[in-house]
Amino acid sequence: MKPKANIVVVGSINMDMVIQTPKLPVTGETVLGGDYTTVPGGKGANQAVSASRLGARVVMFGCLGQDSFGQQLLTNLQQEGIVTDHIRMLPDYPSGIAFIPVTASGDNCIVVSPGANMQLTPDDIMQGEDIIQNADVLMVQLEIPIDTVKAALTIAKKHNVVTILNPAPAKALSAAIYELTDIMTPNETESMLLAAGDVQQAWGPEQTIAELQRLGVGKVLLTRGGDGVAYPSGNGIEIVPACKVEVVDTTAAGDAFNAGLAVGLAEKLSFADAVRFAAKAAALAVTKPGAQPSLPLRKEVDEFTCIV
């Protein structure tokens, strides 16, 4: 029997407001959308829920407002089996929200109002050092203050806990952040903003990965949507093709991938097998609408045959 993965997630918790739309609007354009729903989200919460559904024990650090969304989001995490002792409820800040238009083909764009998420402090993380030091993997993203991200990475590194940084939304990072990161998982747009400072640069995956690793990251996993995942190996750049599925909504694909990777590594899979496990989780996530509702259960991933 595989050991139960022990994962800590430090990150954002949002309520997603999802609108079906025939197309994503361009600057100055108004588009008449379709159905509108509210769905629990936030990159941190999505990754926590995904890891829990994949069989891990998950502890989450975060902040919510003491509003109706905050209580709904806290209850949702608890129902997903996530330990919420380190989530603070703040009376003076609204819970984070995200507006997400989604097209029929599954394309989306996201605007986030972080609210209480930006009140998660390094002190909150330091008070939970005993939790982090006993984890197999720490997962962080960039929808919370960067000083808090650094504090979490620093504590994990101190205790030899594997660190995974999903650099979304992409922003300028210090040398210390890169050096504290064992695995970074940008998508192609994020990777170019980080490596070149310009999303218009026409770099291939080899150059992009090499530049990010030159900055100090242990290993870069470049997620490329339908083109799969690229990462460095002993033979250069390894490409794991994407599984062929019918795409409905890509919102949580990256979160499912990160969680799958963390669970795979925590369960002592080889790196290559952990990446393939993560790719299967991501593929299943895009076949359903919504962020957290789309995240697959462990049984679904284990029984899924990836056809490339």
Q: Is 249 annotated as a binding-site member?
A: yes
Q: Is 15 annotated as a binding-site member?
A: yes
Q: Is 143 annotated as a binding-site member?
A: yes
Q: Active-site residues: which are they?
A: 255
- Listed in sequence order, the DSSP H helices in 159-291 are 175-180, 188-195, 205-214, 253-266, 271-285
How many angstroms separate the Cα of 138 from the Cα of each of 46, 169, 230?
14, 18, 22
Q: Is 288 annotated as a binding-site member?
A: yes
Q: Is 298 annotated as a binding-site member?
A: no
Q: Is 16 annotated as a binding-site member?
A: yes
Q: Is 253 annotated as a binding-site member?
A: no
Q: Is 225 annotated as a binding-site member?
A: yes
Residue 120 corresponds to which tokens in the numbers above? 């998660």
> How far is Cα 98 from Cα 290, in angstroms, rounded to an integer?
12
Q: Is 251 annotated as a binding-site member?
A: yes
Q: Is 255 annotated as a binding-site member?
A: yes
The neighbouring-strand residues paired with 8 are: 59, 138
Residue 206 φ/ψ, nearest 5 degrees: -60, -45
Helix-strand-coil percent breakdown of the chain, rounded to 5? Answer: 40, 25, 40
> How far is Cα 190 from Cα 188, in angstroms, rounded to an integer?
6
Q: Is 42 annotated as a binding-site member?
A: yes
> How far is Cα 59 from Cα 48, in angstroms, rounded to an integer?
8
DSSP letter string over 212-235? HHHTT-SEE-EE-GGG-EEEEETT
Q: Is 226 annotated as a binding-site member?
A: yes
DSSP letter string over 252-266? THHHHHHHHHHHHHH
* 64-82 as b/e: b if 16+ CB within 10 A: bbbbebbeebbebbeebeb
Q: Is 254 annotated as a binding-site member?
A: yes
Strand order of the β-sheet with 111-113 is 36-41, 14-20, 96-102, 111-113
Q: Is 44 annotated as a binding-site member?
A: yes
Q: Is 285 annotated as a binding-site member?
A: yes
Q: Binding site for substrate: residue ranges?
A: 14-16, 42-46, 143, 255
Residue ranges for the known binding site are 14-16, 42-46, 143, 187, 223-228, 249, 251, 254-255, 285, 288, 290, 294
Show binding-site residues for K(+).
Answer: 249, 251, 285, 288, 290, 294
Residue stretches of the annotated binding site for ATP: 187, 223-228, 254-255
